[in-house]
Structure formats: structure tokens, C-alpha cells
Amino acid sequence: MKLIKSSQAGSLESNDVLVLVKPENDNTGIKLEIDSIVINQFGDRIKEIVEQKLAAMKIENAYIKIKDKGALDCTIEARIEAAIKRAQ
Amino acid sequence: MEKLRQTMLFIPGNNPGMVQNGVVFDSDSVIFDLEDAVSLKEKDTARILLKHALVNIDYGSVEVVVRINALDSDLLNEDLEAIVKPQLDTILVPKINTADDIKQVDEILTKIEKENDIESPIKLIALVETALGVENAFSIAASSERMTAILFGGEDFTADIRTERTDRGEEIDYARSRIVVGCRAAGIDAIDTPYSDINNLDGLAKDAKRAKRLGFEGKSLISPKQINIVNKIFSPTEEEVNWAKRVVRAIERAEKEGKGVISLDGKMIDAPIVNRAKRIINIAAKKEGVL
Amino acid sequence: MKVINTLEEVIKKSGLKDGMTISFHHHLRNGDFVLNSVLNKVAEMGIKDLTIAPSSVFPVHIDIIDHIKNGVVKKIECNYMSGKVGEVISEGIMDQPVVFRSHGGRARAIASGELKIDVAFLAAPAADSEGNINGINGKAACGSLGYAFSDARYADKVIAITDNIEEYPLTPVSIDQTYVDYVLEVEEIGDPEGIVSGTTQITQDPVGLKIAEYTAEVIEESGLLKDGLNFQTGAGGTSLAVADKLKDKMIEKNITGNFAMGGITSYLVNMMEEGLFKSILDVQCFDLDAVRSIRENIEHQEISSSWYANTESKSCAVDMLDVVILGATEIDTDFNVNVLTNSNGVIMGGSGGHNDTAAGANLTIVVAPLFRTRLPIVVDKVLAKTTPGEHIDVLVTERGIAVNPANQELYKKLKKTNLPITTIEKLKEEAEKVAGKPQKVEFSDNIIALVEARDGEIIDKVRQPLLK
């Protein structure tokens, strides 16, 4: 899947997550920046979800910034999907 | 008689905090809203959020309803593609004016259910909020096997008939009754319009009592604060339950004794009374979690 | 002549030297100017290596951080610590761990001499030239001075710091002149806006309201909702919502309670003034209405922290409680409660009256949401044990109610109702099912806090969290 523009989805409300996507078309892979209020408890899990979702949507090169306010797994997945779709 | 729908709580579909808490509020149904509660530019993120929430969050015995966007919005198809999942119980379709409107949605739903191997057909609730819709209440109610209720949208209806909403509510009396009658004739539920003044709990109580007297099965709500009051009003009182139990016992006694005519407190018990008593016991039992 | 003109002078007169212990009460809460002024002056005067024993530390006391770094403050003993001070201490900047006690525990330690205070600096909203003080007059009125009594009684030197000297003799008097050595008059002892909030508010959050609804029903079904009820609740939004729902039930059933205690807010004052409670025992005022009431109502009584909760006094008030409503940042499957740290192990609170009331009350109810933004409240093991599980009877969350297995009588009563009674293990499971299983925070070997039980035994040693 080709990403053609920057996008974002979600919000900074409690229990939500803001996902920012920037296309990187130089084959440098995924650059991931995660900022979360529950980074100590769910940091690894968030990283896992992002990586899994990007792989499932066949995104190989992108800059993804996550600003998480305690979103559940399904919310994170949903916001990533929405942001990626908006970037296409 | 199906599941109780005495309280149906609207929840903004793009609000993860509220969506994930849907089961906490103790309403009979939750209506995740993709229509009025979501701005145009967030329709896409909202439907994706619900798509994931439906599959991953356990709503227990609460009926899960999604209000999709209207037929004329160009969003309906994408909404349905996203939210049709085994975990979805019911879809609320706004601005339903005719039986044909429902049939259109029914067709699209059937196709998507097949594509997704959904075995149990998803039900439909028609949101009737126009003069035309109210006029067509019965035919809408009877238009499809999926039809399980009509929800009355009082605010939009009042605007459509070019008058104003008042506290007394006489401007919507006819519409309310017509919808109740149409639903009853078609054998489905009638759900009343929300009460918009969240802080006026006395006003809410009056409005809900009126809706119950008019024959509605339940009421839609826009705030969790409204749930307890409406629940209490639509639930049978202790006196009603006791009365109903006495009726049923009187019937059983009469049957044992081979009597044809049954009386209680000096009054004859005929079929309508029997049905009412059974209905009350049914509701009470459901509330106890027995059924 | 007790009235001294400057802070520097009064500190000199007190004989304060390196290594001594100074104390403060926290009735000016987040509007307090006194603690910072004293520390700043002490630092200026070159005095160092002090132990400070404020009954609580608030965000306004941020100056403490610099004084830890420059060696003025070597040790802290308190009952509660919120704000940046707690955060920074959790990064391990102190050589000695902070000692956390309950309100009753502090009173006990002071009376027994375990916490020996050399100089007590007591903020006094009203004082006279001989050192009689009260908390109810003056622009910085704070109401009850409950936590100051032990300091006044046992400290070697007691200094009253006031911005309101009234004619002798002050009327009424909370702490009398026989305990006070010096009186210092300053411009302002604190900021009224930070001292008491205008009003404390019931939560509007539907989750909090649901918890309150369940809790009121638990109280009713326990059989304790009858005439003569002795009740205490916190000042948080959900705790107040419980008081509100309880009030409805008391009115409905025509019940008159006996006394309400705490941390007093306008809600409890209203209940008393409406005849639902006969009197109030007040160890701390949280809002203006509570201050007004303690001033005007003879049935609204100020009590010292010793009277409130000191296990070594001849008897104490918490033992008379029927029901207490408490919060928790964490609770484990043994019902141990953490109110000292957050889920990251960072200090942001402390027992206060938590383990005092939990131990004393007939029915101890912890109210909490099942998660706070994804973090489950129910855990395997709390990061800091402030109240032992044996004192907790029931946990009420919006998704279920867990009764301590030790209280079979209560369990049987509640199981007969429509309430969602479950087990604490099942609540933990559900929390983890919804939110995912949290990774455990890692800790270093550095101990940042010691938690004392009411009797002085150390019940927990809190380590420094290693955070991302």
C-alpha cells in the first residue's frame, strides 16, 4: 500500500490515541515514536499492535507518531487503520 | 416478546471512552451513533472505531445497536460494510419515510451478511422522524422480517410539521400514538423519543410516564443520568406484579376446578386482562434475570 | 513577651540548630505559605540537616525540593505527599526514605516520643498576643486545627505564625497559650483560594455515579443503615456522590444518624443541618461551608488527630464508626490497599486517615473504578501497602462488587440482593480482559519510603521505580 500524504486520526481525549502518519518513500522501513501515559505498563503492547497492524495493511515505509492517552488495544488498532486509510 | 428495550442509551460513536463503557450504564440497549453525534470529517474514523469495538469489547446482555447514516447520505453503504459483525444485534436507520426505504436497507444488509457468513440476521429499527414516516408507520413496521421496532424522533418530526416542541408535548401526541398503533398492529416494539433537557429529571419523569401511558415499550435516552428514572417508570410496580401473580393464580385455580369464567375481586377476568397479567410477569421475570 | 517581630528572630529564639526536627500542620493545604517561608529562612540562616515533619506535603511546598538538594532537609516524616515533591523524591534524590504514617500514627509517634519535635511552626488563622490560637477566624480561616494539637502539646518549642492578631483573650480558643512559646505576625499565612475550595463537588461521571449507587445499596443491605449511624466519607467526587445517595435513602427511610466524621465538606454539613446527623466530629475542613459550620454550629466539633485515631490514646473516635467510604489507587487480591503511590510507583498520596478509619469502622468500603484510563485498579500485589487487607470489607466498582472472604456474614447478605457480587480475582480478570495485562514496573533497590502501621511497625518498604 502506498502512502501519499500525511494524515492523522483519533484525539488526545482520555482513553483515545492520536495517530500521526507521514509517508517515507525512501525504503527506510517503519520509524515509530510512541508517547503514552501508560508507557510503563503497555508500551511494549502498543508497539506490538502498531507493528502488527502496519504489516497487515502492508505498509513498509512510514513515520508513525503515537500519542496515547490510555486507549484500549482495539481503539489503537482502529485509529491506526483510520490514519493509514486517510494517508492513501 | 423479545428482549426488553425499556432504556436505549445513545452513545457518540467516535468516543472511545464511552464506547468501551457501554456495558456499565445498565441500560437495556446501547445505540452507538455514527450519525448526528459524529462530524462529517470524522465519519470514517468513527465507523472504523466501532468496527473494532464491536468485535473486541464484551457487552454482556446489553443489546448492541448502531445508528448508521441515512439512505440519502452516501455513507450508509460504507457504514454497513464496516459494522456488520456477528456481535452486532441491531441497526437503527434514521429518516425512514416508507416501507421501501427499509426494503432497500434490508437488501444491502442481506448481501453483506452473506459475504461475511453472518448466520443470525441483524435486526432493524426504523427511526421515524418525519410526517411522511409517521403516516406510513404501519407499513414501515410491517415492511421486513428484520423490523423489530420503530424509534420515534420527536425533535426532527416537530420541525418537519413546522411547529415547536413544548413541555406539554401535545404537538407530538398524534405521532406518538400513530406509531404505537402501527407497531402494535405489526407486532413490533415502539420506542419513544429522547428527552433533551438532561438536567430536568422531573420533566423527564413526566415525559416518560406519558410515553408509557401511550403504550411505548421504552424510551431512548441521551444521558446515563436518565436511565434509572426511565427504567423505574417502565418497570412494573410491586403492586402491578402482585396483581399479575394473583390473576395467574386465579386462572390456574379456575382451570383446576373446571370453571369457565374466572373472576378476581368481583370482576371478570377476560383475555385482555390475562394477557396484560402475563406480560407483566414476563417483564418482571426478565428484570430478575430469570428469563 | 511572646510576640516576636521577624521570622529570623523567632527561629533564633527557638534555639533551632543543625540536625533538629521541625514540624508543621497542613490545614492551610495547597494555600500554605508558612512551610516554605520557614524553610527558606532556615536555609538563609545556614541551618541544615533538618528533619521536617509536616503532617502533609502539598504541591505548593515545591521549595522543599531545593532544600533537599542543598542539604537543609535531610529527612521527611509525613502522612501524605502530593505534587512535584513526591515525584522528585520518587526519582531517588533523598538519602533517607520518607516515613509515612497515618494521621493517628503521627499523633501516636509524637506522643510516645518516637517523633521528637524540637520546634513546631503552627500556622494560626487567628491568634492573640499570648499565643491562644484558633482556625476559624481571619482571612486565612481553615476551620479545624486537628493535626496541630499533638505538635503543640509535645514539641519543645511552639511558634504560632499568624496574619491576624486579635485582642486578648482570643475567642474561641483551640490551642491555648499554655502550649505556645512565641507568636509571629506576618502579612499572609496563606492564600485563601488554596486553603479551602469554594465547594467540593459530587462527581458527574456516570461511572462514579454508578459506583455510588451500588455503594449506597451495600450500606443499606449490610443492615447498618439505621438510626444512630456513625459515618465517614472522603472528599473525592465519588465519595461525595455516596453521601448524596445515602442522604436520599436516609430521608426516604426517616433515619437519623448519630455523627459524621472526617475531612468535612459542605455535603456532610448539609446533612447535619437538615437533621440527618446529630453532630459532626471534624479533624479537617475541606471547604468554606465546613469552616462556616464549625464556627456557627455547636454540634460541629473540632477534634485532634489523637482523639480521631491514636491507638495509644485512652480511646479514639475511629473505633466508633459504623461505615467508612475510602478510595484506592490500587487494591490487590488480598484486599491490601495502596493510596501512597500511583500505578507507576511514584509517590502522590499517603494514608492520611485511610488505615485509621479502615481499622476502626465496622464496615469499610473501598470505592474505585475498575480502571483509571486503562490501568486496572485490582492488581496481583500493590506497589505500596498502606492499609492491610484484613481491614477492608468490600470493594465496589462499576463492574462488580467483591466482598473480603473474611466477612462471610456480609457476603451472605449481599449475595441475596440484585447487586453484581463477584470475587476480587474475577474483577482482576475482567480488568485484564478489557484493558490487557499490564507489564510490571521495575524497581531499583533504593528505598524511597517506609510505611508505618498505626502502631509504628513498618508494614512496607517502597522502592524507587525505574520508569521509561
Which of B124-160 are b and which e, b meaning 16 or more Cβ less than 10 Å from the residue's Cβ?
bbbbbbbeebbbbbbebbbbbebbbbbbbbbebbbeb
**Which chains would you list as touching C if contact means 3+ CB atom pairs under 8 Å?**
A, B
Contact B224 C433 (CB under 8 A): no
Residue B195, helix vs strand vs coil: coil
Contact A42 C441 (CB under 8 A): no
Structure letter (DSSP) for residue C187: S
A38 CB near a chain C CB, below 8 Å? yes
> In angstroms, what is the C-alpha Rg of chain B?
20
Structure letter (DSSP) for residue B113: H
Check residue B289 and give its pLDDT.
Answer: 62
Which residue in the block uniquely carries the three cell numbers 401526541? B173
Q: How many CB atoms lie within 10 A of CB C323?
A: 25
Kind plus residue range of the DSSP H or E element containing C232: strand C231-233
Residue in B with minimal Cα distance to A16: B16
Separation between Cα atoms, residue C346 and residue A40, nearest integer Å: 12
Low-confidence ranges of chain C (pLDDT < 70): 197-199
Tell me: the pLDDT tens digits for C37-83?
999 999 999 999 999 999 999 999 999 999 999 999 999 999 999 99
Separation between Cα atoms, residue C56 and residue C25, nearest integer Å: 7
C344 CB near a chain A CB, below 8 Å? yes
For A55, the grid coordinates are: 504489516
C113 CB near a chain B CB, below 8 Å? no
For C365, the grid coordinates are: 468500603
Separation between Cα atoms, residue C73 and residue B268, nearest integer Å: 88
Structure letter (DSSP) for residue A70: S
Residue B268, helix vs strand vs coil: strand
Mutant choice from A12, A14, A67, A75 vs B, greatest count of B C-beta within 10 A = A75
For C428, the grid coordinates are: 482482576
Check residue C465 and give its pLDDT.
Answer: 97
- Residues facing A66 on adjacent strands: A19, A34
For C175, the grid coordinates are: 490551642
Contact C452, A58 (CB under 8 A): no
Check residue B4 and give its pLDDT.
Answer: 85
Separation between Cα atoms, residue B90 and residue B110, nearest integer Å: 13
Give the nearest partner residue to C439 out of A15, A41, A72, using CB atoms. Answer: A41
Residues 6+ apart with CB under 8 A from C358: C324, C326, C337, C364, C387, C391, C392
Residue C291: how many CA atoms within 13 Å on its side-chain side? 24
- The full set of domains in chain C, from first to last, is 3-195 (3.40.1080.10), 206-440 (3.40.1080.10)
Give the nearest partner residue to A69 out of C373, C465, C467, using CB atoms. Answer: C373
Separation between Cα atoms, residue B37 and residue C431, nearest integer Å: 28
Check residue C199 and give its pLDDT.
Answer: 63
ipTM: 0.96
- The full set of domains in chain A, from first to last, is 7-86 (3.30.230.10)
Residues 6+ apart with CB under 8 A from A35: A65, A66, A67, A68
Residue in C with minimal Cα distance to A16: C373
Residue B111, helix vs strand vs coil: helix
Residues 6+ apart with CB under 8 A from C415: C421
> In angstroms, what is the C-alpha Rg of chain A?
12
- Residues facing C127 on adjacent strands: C133, C165
List the alpha helices (DSSP H) in chain B.
16-20, 43-56, 76-83, 99-115, 131-135, 137-141, 154-160, 170-186, 201-214, 227-234, 238-256, 271-288
Check residue C114 and give its pLDDT.
Answer: 97
Which residue in the block uniquely carries the three cell numbers 428495550? B5
Separation between Cα atoms, residue B160 and residue A12, nearest integer Å: 38
Which residue in the block uniquely carries the three cell numbers 464506547? B19
Residue in A with minimal Cα distance to B55: A74
| Four-residue CA torsion sign, C205, C210, C216, C222 | negative
Residue in B with minimal Cα distance to A83: B45
- Distance of alpha carbon C301 from the chain centroid: 18
Residue in C with minimal Cα distance to A13: C373
For C349, the grid coordinates are: 498520596
Contact C269, C289 (CB under 8 A): yes
For B132, the grid coordinates are: 411522511
What is the strand order of the sheet C119-124 is part of? C3-4, C182-185, C157-162, C119-124, C21-24, C50-54, C73-78, C98-100, C442-452, C458-466
Number of helices (H) and strands (E), helices first, in chain B?
Answer: 12, 10
Residue C337, helix vs strand vs coil: strand
Contact B17 A15 (CB under 8 A): yes
Check residue C198 and give its pLDDT.
Answer: 59
Give the nearest partner residue to B17 out of A14, A77, A81, using CB atoms. Answer: A14
Q: Which among C110, C115, C93, C172 is positioned nearest to C138, based on CA atoms?
A: C172
Which residue in the block uniquely carries the three cell numbers 517506609? C450
**d(CA C420, nearest CA chain B) in Å:** 11
**d(CA A41, nearest CA chain C) in Å:** 4
Separation between Cα atoms, residue C367 and residue C383, nearest integer Å: 19
For C373, the grid coordinates are: 484510563
Separation between Cα atoms, residue C22 and residue C118, nearest integer Å: 6
Chain B interface residues facing chain A, Cβ-Cβ under 8 Å? 15-17, 20, 44-45, 48-49, 51-53, 55-57
Low-confidence ranges of chain B (pLDDT < 70): 1-2, 289-291
Residue in B with minimal Cα distance to A82: B45
Give the nearest partner residue to B24 out of C210, C418, C433, using CB atoms. Answer: C210
Mutant choice from B52, B58, B85 vs A, greatest count of A C-beta within 10 A = B52
Residue B225: how many CA atoms within 13 Å on its side-chain side? 14
Contact A78 B49 (CB under 8 A): yes
Tell me the backbone φ, ψ of residue C244, rounded to 5 degrees. Answer: -65, -45
Kind plus residue range of the DSSP H or E element containing C332: strand C330-332
Mean pLDDT, residues A6-16:
97
Tell me: the pLDDT tens digits for A12-22?
999 999 999 99
Contact A32, A54 (CB under 8 A): no
**Which chains would you list as touching A if contact means 3+ CB atom pairs under 8 Å?**
B, C
A64 CB near a chain B CB, below 8 Å? no
Residues 6+ apart with CB under 8 A from B117: none
Domain ranges of chain B: 7-234, 238-288
Contact A81 B48 (CB under 8 A): yes
Contact A41, C375 (CB under 8 A): yes
Contact C438 A72 (CB under 8 A): no
Check residue B1 and give its pLDDT.
Answer: 45
Separation between Cα atoms, residue B45 and residue B34, nearest integer Å: 10
Tell me: the pLDDT tens digits for A26-69?
788 999 999 999 999 999 999 999 999 999 999 999 999 999 99
**d(CA A30, nearest CA chain B) in Å:** 22
Give the nearest partner residue to B25 out of C206, C433, C434, using CB atoms. Answer: C206
Tell me the backbone φ, ψ of residue C270, rounded to 5 degrees. Answer: -55, -45
Residues of C in contact with A73 (CB under 8 A): 436
pTM of the model as a whole: 0.93
Residue C327, helix vs strand vs coil: coil
User: Taking the C-alpha atoms of C385, C388, C393 and C398 in order, what is their torsion angle to the nearest 10 degrees?
Assistant: 0
Residue C183 to residues B162, B218, B257, C145, C162: CA-CA distances in angstroms? 75, 68, 94, 17, 7
Contact C400, C430 (CB under 8 A): yes
Span B7-234: which CATH code?
3.20.20.60
Residues 6+ apart with CB under 8 A from C121: C22, C23, C24, C34, C35, C38, C159, C161
Separation between Cα atoms, residue B172 and residue B174, nearest integer Å: 6
Q: Which among B100, B27, B105, B111 is positioned nearest to B65, based on CA atoms?
A: B27
**d(CA A71, nearest CA chain C) in Å:** 7
C207 CB near a chain B CB, below 8 Å? yes
